Amino acid sequence: MPTSSSPQTDMTPAHRKLISGWLFLLCFMLLGMIAIGGVTRLTGSGLSIMDWQPVSGFIPPLSHAEWERLFALYKTIPQYHLQHEGFGLEGFQRIFWAEWIHRFWGRLMGLVLLLPLIWFVVRGMITRRLALRLFIFFILGALQGAIGWFMVASGFRPNSTAVEPIRLVLHLSAALLLYGAILWTAFSIRWPVPENHTSSSTARLAKRLACFTIVLLCTTIIAGGFTAGTHAGFLFNTFPLMDGHLIPTDYAQLSPFWMNWFINKAAVQFDHRLLATLTALSIGAVLFVGLKATDLGAKAHNAFILLGWAVVIQYALGVTTLLLVVPVWAGAVHQTFAAVLLGVMLYVLHCLRGTKAMA
């Protein structure tokens, strides 16, 4: 197996295309995982499976006795008594399948990562450094499963009908971190050499703005996680005003003040709206500056245009989800497209990596 740490020099073009394509597939599966997670959350299905079986969980219930056993477990948690008491085995099966598919998809992703990785290592198609990085991704994926169970377990507490928002945000953030790391690795393998090396002040400013914007975007997504976790999206379903006010009157009702950012539904929704708007404006600034940079190549300019379309779509999805009072399809698509927008933002940054910091 090659011993150098640089896939740019030790991987053939054919191998780079194959391996980056495999990683892009994993990123696509991660988007699917985020979408399924959104459906699971919005249908209240996440607490339907009371045990965590990383291996045997691949197999769904195959007998009536097993269905009855799982249903009996579900009857022991508060969500059943507070929301679903009396809905019967058929009702339980409806919410069960969303959560089971979510967990099955995660296990399938682990196999799609691990088995080809072993093959590529045995065949000497990747460098040792890259193999180590990809194995770490596998470990992080397994850790993400543990974080998911940590999140679900919070919903089993007395008088609880949903998971704790902070654990939901942790689960979502870990998924996006893994998604971003795999996607950046795929970009670097597919396009190992920057398109050009630029040093104009305009190109440097575009890169700095893009770096700032991706931090703002990640903050907005985290705020969206708290909006989902506290169910704040079901309030103030008008736009741009909230109950006739630009800033809700009960924004600062909790003390200490910082608790409003995480618990107060009015503040949580307003903060997400504000951050989303600032992110859209920041992306607009990136586009304005980046498209003026004549020393950037066609690939970077096309990335800017793609980013513009992506932010328009995501902002429209957010407003639509709010105005329709968070239907399952809209909430799931909005959550998933946030990851798509993050991916496009990473692509823009990857296209700008040849921009020099100083003239």
Binding site, by residue number, is 272, 334
Q: Locate 8 and state its tokens.
A: 């740019």
CA distance 44 to 38: 10
DSSP letter assigned to residue 86: T
Nearest CA-CA partner of 343 in 171, 159, 218: 218
Question: Which residue numbers belong to the known binding site for heme?
Answer: 272, 334
DSSP string, 151-200: HHHGGGSTT--S--HHHHHHHHHHHHHHHHHHHHHHHHHHS-S-S-----
- The crossing angle, in degrees rounded to 10, of helices 165-190 and 13-42 is 160
Residues sharing a CB contact under 8 Å with residue 165, sequence separation 6 or more, in sequence order: 225, 226, 228, 229, 230, 262
**Single-letter code of the amino acid located at 40:** T
- Dmax of the chain from CA atoms? 72
Q: Determine contact, residues 11/19, Cβ cutoff 8 Å.
A: yes
Listed residue (185, 159, 202) closest to 25, CA to CA: 185
CB-based burial label for 202 (10 Å; 0-12, 13-18, 19+): middle
**Residue 245 phi, psi (nearest 5):** -125, 145
Q: Is 59 helix (H, G, I), strand (E, B) or coil?
A: coil
Q: Residue 51 in contact with residue 98, Cβ under 8 Å?
A: no
